[in-house]
Structure 1
Amino acid sequence: MVPVWSAFPGISMERRLAAILAVDVVGFSRLMEVDEAGTLAALKIRRKEVLRPLVAKHRGRIFKVAGDGVLVEFASAVNAVQCAVELQERMAAANSGQPEERRIVLRIGVNLGDVIVEGSDLYGDGVNIAARLESIAEPGSILVSGTAHDHIRNKVQVGFDDLGTQNLKNIAEPVRIYRVVGTPAVAVVTPRVAAEKPAIAVLPFVNMSSDPEQEYFADGMTEDIITELARFKSLLVIARNSSFYYKGRSPRIQDVGRELGVRWIVEGSVRKAGNWVRITAQLIDAANGAHVWAERYDRTLDAIFEVQDEVVQAIVGTIPGHLGRIAVEHARRRPPANLTAFDHLLRGRWALFHSTDGLQSALDHLEKAIEADPNYAAAHAQIATAFAYGIYALGLEPEIAIERACQHAARAVALDGGDTEVNAAAASAYITSGMHELADLHSARATASNPNDASALFSRGFVLAHLGRPSEAIEIFSQMQRIDPLAPDDARSEVLCDCHFMLGEYETVIGILRHRHDVPAYMHLIEAAAYAQLGRIEESKAAVAAFHRSPAPKPDPKTMIASQMRMIAHQEDRERWLEGYRKAGLPI
């Protein structure tokens, strides 16, 4: 709700200093899915018997209740933190004896700051920071802002871990954050698929320089890599505090893997000499200590922070791709009896672009993934991609394929609309269906949520190419090449052909295709149009003949061209293509 005063700038606002406690139930949606009536009843009892008496005891005031969340105001930060600690202790006691899947676990944030008063409600950064702290707190824990900590550090009988200064979503200035030490440990049931994510830890990069002041640079590298890897929902990334426990030590990699519960370790070093810095990074299999990837970066220090950003982007753009390829190979080697939803997803992805019966094999696996987990957003997203790809490349009946692609894209977005992969897949489905505005929206969301994800960048480039912005698309694909140079170039080169064709760069189109050893059947039609636009009619006819000779599944030329025209947003771009196809003698 928008505060009434925001519409009337001349009206003065009542403000006051307040300690805000924000509380949220961990995994509320999961609890509701398991037992809606039981969860609501249990939550009502906990509020009546635990929350409200503690708030009253510490002289607080509940000013907002929204589903599974509560906001409480206190006149004293000491009272707010004491209430938070007792609340976690009482909730842990109430959970004892309950099965893990029915425990109500809280995360709590506390901030001291200026708030805006409207009736019984409160607004402003004083409230927002508390809510943001709650959202990033671990299950069963309490996070406290620096302003609150300054007022309570010698007045409450608890300890604090300094988590450093962090940027919080939609908060202009960084916030120093402390975690209350000693709250009861909790066990939280995690979704089956999430538990199967590749788990990775980034150890503090070692400062190999003689200059101890470069320590900040090495630590900054480590922290940025952790932050950027955490954007990938396909990875489980160990938080900074756990990783930095090993700073200054020389542990065995196998011991680190066992202690942190991870399979993969990133370690590295920074060495500065004059105006040069050398940064090394390695990805290590903690099961056996084997190095699966290593790279060295030599850079000048003219712009040290730009160097840091560049290397971080290179590292985090490479590692997920390596882990993804390893995961696919592991999944393919497992016997069918051991398959899970995640395994089927991996197999489906691989089959779509590599298997001889590509589409059908992919859909079989993806349907099994959804059977195992009907709310698996990534599987719905991949099915949308499969149908979208099949329209253009495999000759699926367009109306049915478009309906299925959009149906699964919408389902994926409804399940997890903030996920990078979901938005990327939705964008591909929508552009193939001719829904240009939705495609633009979701491809932009995908790259905004994770600019280091190669699939997000591909989706954005694919969409921009067909929205009449081929030069921007080419730059996107350059960025994709920089952050994931080992990714297969097949699909990227196909869209680059589209981009250069729309720019009138027909020789470039032909050059790209000439360097491919496995040109898909439908790309021979694009080759024919490029030759025709250059007046090289005999070579154009040869390309058309190559299309007809191809044994691979393919659309008939008229269907392929119609599908392509549906994707293109502007008539002038369509006319350029149609002119090339006419000159090549293709039916339109």
Structure 2
Amino acid sequence: MKFAGYALDPQGFELRHGGERVAVEPQVLSLLLLLAANRERMVSKDEIIEEVWDGRIVSESAISARIKAARKAVGDDGTAQKVIRTIHGRGFRFVAVVEESVAAVVEADEAPAATPPSTRPSIAVLPFALIGESGPHDIIADALPADIIMDLARINWLFVIARGSSFRFRGPDADPIAVGRALAVTYCLTGQIERTGHSVSVRCALIDTRDGHTVWSERYEGAIESLQELRPEIERGVVESVLQHIPQNEVRLARGLPAAQLDAWASFHLGIDHMYRFNAADNAAASRLFGHALERDPWFSRAMAGLSFTHFQSAFMAYDEQVGRHVEQARMLAQKAVETDRLDPFGHFSLGRCSWLEGRLDDSIAWFDRATSLSPSFAQGVYNRGLVATIAGQARQADRDLALALDLSPLDPMAYAMISGRALTHLQFGELEQAAQFGERAALTPGAHKHIKLIAALTLNLIGKRQEAAAWLAKARADDADLSAASFFRSFPYAQGEARETLERGLRAIGV
């Protein structure tokens, strides 16, 4: 919808002015969308709290601050009130004249079923349906999806419909495709809770509303009396699965598009797919795709962070002789990503990796702390914090983080690195058998690169498995004939101390 030279795009979750994207905090943009969508009436403060803050208790000053920011974003103020009018003591109303396109006023049941694949991913989480016997567990049918909404709302790349709208679609017959049309979302999360005797099962499914395809489904089971204890585990599992499977599905859709039709989000998702293949050619392809995304949207913070990741990877793996330049570019892009969107954990994560390569380990851990505070289910942020703590000699805390990262994302594209990190922590514990087990398991995991194979060789050699160690060393050198202790410690800048000395002795023992 257009008004006073501005354009609000609910599907793209954007505000534009003169064709240029306006940088607005997600909560402020949600407030603008709520007021504009209900411009025929006053929106009460209670409704704003329900929709924008998911019903959490907030102060009057918090609402006032968001209203002030919303006015500023659209060139309004508290005196003029040309766009947002205050109804004193009651609420607010969107009063700007709106220019609607013909397509915007089509009734929901006449709208096309397919949402263009170029939009930012969006999701509606529906209340779970109850099947079978009723009882005190019934409250979970609303409480669990409400918690999932709050967790997903932390993720800036995913537009999450507020509970007040998605919970209008209730019951086992709620059709995800119809929900997609009505709420203009590309994904729908549904669930069922079924009680049989003393047992309960929770079924969840992620549906692509464009074609009705089931992207992911899972079933959780337990005793009825333990449902409250299972609830956080189910919540965590569902959130992590949604965050893994939506990008994978977006890649599937983007692969079918001609290059000329790739928008910023499609280019970004394809870039992520190449980025996680961990070789020079795919890293270069990822870099090009992130560049394409930024050409289409210069304010796309996640594409900046993705491009930072590719420069980090070039430096970490020494794909060329310009390691220093890659580190500088990685930091510049990560800083720009954080400045563009301070709520996106990917930017903070990328800055943490830059500090890691620069040997500023405490600073690196602090950035990963920020990333995981923004998104507690961000497995790669947890993993990288653990790995850097390992390099800093803080093995106990590191091992807990590495184990948690694997629990959060057992099928993660960086699972090999999480496992290899545990080989390094157990090496610091002096538990050589366990270190060798983790080392070899990591090297056998898809995606394992030269450093992972080298760690496998080192740890296997320490327990006397010379033949297996020699085989992994040969594979590491096949990846990089110039592999050396210096290149290993450039990528893993261990602090001086016992942990580094153990690795140095281990590398010398295998001739590196």
| TM-score, normalised with respect to structure 2 | 0.75
Bigger drift between 332-341 and 265-274 goes to 265-274
Residue 198 of structure 1, aligned match among 114, 121, 127: 121
How far apart are 1:337 and its partner, in Å? 0.9
2:484 equivalent to 1:557: yes
Aligned residue number for residue 378 of structure 1: 302
Aligned partner of 2:383: which letter? Answer: F
Is the contact made by 1:257 and 1:265 (CA closer than 8 Å) also made in structure 2?
A: yes
What is the DSSP-based 3-state SS (H/G/I as helix, E as strand, rest coil) of the residue aligned with 2:154? Answer: coil
Aligned residue number for residue 112 of structure 2: none
What is the DSSP-based 3-state SS (H/G/I as helix, E as strand, rest coil) of the residue aligned with 1:291? Answer: strand
**C-alpha spacing 1:498/1:328, structure 2 compared with 1 (3 Å):** farther
**Between structures 1 and 2, the one with greater strand share:** 1
Residue 512 of structure 1, aligned match among 424, 427, 438: 438
What is the DSSP-based 3-state SS (H/G/I as helix, E as strand, rest coil) of the residue aligned with 2:393? Answer: coil
How far apart are 1:127 and its partner, in Å? 5.3
2:349 & 2:320 partners in 1: Cα distance?
21
1:228 & 1:259 partners in 2: Cα distance?
23
**C-alpha spacing 1:546/1:204, structure 2 compared with 1 (3 Å):** closer
Equivalent residue runs for 1:137-536 within 5 Å: 196-211=119-134, 213-248=136-171, 250-273=173-196, 275-354=198-277, 357-397=281-321, 398-488=323-413, 489-515=415-441, 516=444, 519-536=448-465
**C-alpha spacing 1:201/1:471, structure 2 compared with 1 (3 Å):** same
Aligned partner of 1:216: which letter? Answer: I
2:408 & 2:59 partners in 1: Cα distance?
39
How far apart are 1:380 and its partner, in Å? 1.8
How far apart are 1:202 and its partner, in Å? 1.2
| TM-score, normalised with respect to structure 1 | 0.66
How far apart are 1:386 and its partner, in Å? 1.8
Is the contact made by 1:107 and 1:137 (CA closer than 8 Å) also made in structure 2?
A: no
Is the contact made by 1:395 and 1:554 (CA closer than 8 Å) also made in structure 2?
A: no
Aligned partner of 1:294: which letter? Answer: S
How far apart are 1:219 and its partner, in Å? 0.7
2:131 & 2:65 partners in 1: Cα distance?
37
Aligned partner of 1:527: which letter? Answer: A
What is the DSSP-based 3-state SS (H/G/I as helix, E as strand, rest coil) of the residue aligned with 1:357? Answer: helix
**C-alpha spacing 1:129/1:377, structure 2 compared with 1 (3 Å):** closer
Structure 2, unmatched stretches of 5+, are 1-7, 23-27, 29-34, 48-57, 75-86, 102-115
How far apart are 1:517 and its partner, in Å? 5.8
**C-alpha spacing 1:449/1:472, structure 2 compared with 1 (3 Å):** same
Residues 321-377 of structure 1: CA deviation (Å, up to 9, x unaligned):
011111122222321111222222222222223267122222222223223333322
How far apart are 1:108 and its partner, in Å? 9.3
Bigger drift between 572-581 and 554-563 goes to 554-563
What is the DSSP-based 3-state SS (H/G/I as helix, E as strand, rest coil) of the residue aligned with 2:214? Answer: strand
1:554 & 1:390 partners in 2: Cα distance?
17
What is the DSSP-based 3-state SS (H/G/I as helix, E as strand, rest coil) of the residue aligned with 2:372? Answer: helix
Equivalent residue runs for 1:69-88 within 5 Å: none
Is the contact made by 1:471 and 1:499 (CA closer than 8 Å) also made in structure 2?
A: yes
**C-alpha spacing 1:460/1:301, structure 2 compared with 1 (3 Å):** farther
**C-alpha spacing 1:541/1:267, structure 2 compared with 1 (3 Å):** closer
Aligned residue number for residue 80 of structure 2: none
Bigger drift between 252-261 and 465-474 goes to 465-474
2:503 equivalent to 1:577: yes
Residues 430-483 of structure 1: CA deviation (Å, up to 9, x unaligned):
212212132111100111111122333333333333232333333333333333
2:470 equivalent to 1:546: no
Bigger drift between 217-226 and 539-548 goes to 539-548
User: Which protein shows a greater Rg?
Assistant: 1
1:241 & 1:387 partners in 2: Cα distance?
42
2:21 & 2:230 partners in 1: Cα distance?
51
- Give aligned pairs, total: 445
Aligned partner of 1:373: which letter? Answer: D
1:400 & 1:511 partners in 2: Cα distance?
37
Aligned partner of 1:405: which letter? Answer: A
Aligned residue number for residue 111 of structure 2: none
RMSD of the alignment, in Å? 4.0
Aligned partner of 2:365: which letter? Answer: D
Is the contact made by 1:232 and 1:450 (CA closer than 8 Å) also made in structure 2?
A: yes
Is the contact made by 1:522 and 1:555 (CA closer than 8 Å) also made in structure 2?
A: no
How far apart are 1:539 and its partner, in Å? 4.8
Aligned residue number for residue 171 of structure 1: none
Is the contact made by 1:315 and 1:483 (CA closer than 8 Å) also made in structure 2?
A: no
2:285 & 2:399 partners in 1: Cα distance?
32
What is the DSSP-based 3-state SS (H/G/I as helix, E as strand, rest coil) of the residue aligned with 1:196? Answer: coil
Is the contact made by 1:447 and 1:460 (CA closer than 8 Å) also made in structure 2?
A: no
Aligned partner of 1:392: which letter? Answer: F
Aligned residue number for residue 108 of structure 2: none
**C-alpha spacing 1:501/1:226, structure 2 compared with 1 (3 Å):** same
Is the contact made by 2:451 and 2:488 (CA closer than 8 Å) also made in structure 1?
A: no
What is the DSSP-based 3-state SS (H/G/I as helix, E as strand, rest coil) of the residue aligned with 2:362? Answer: helix
**C-alpha spacing 1:248/1:343, structure 2 compared with 1 (3 Å):** closer
How far apart are 1:129 and its partner, in Å? 4.2
1:29 & 1:508 partners in 2: Cα distance?
53
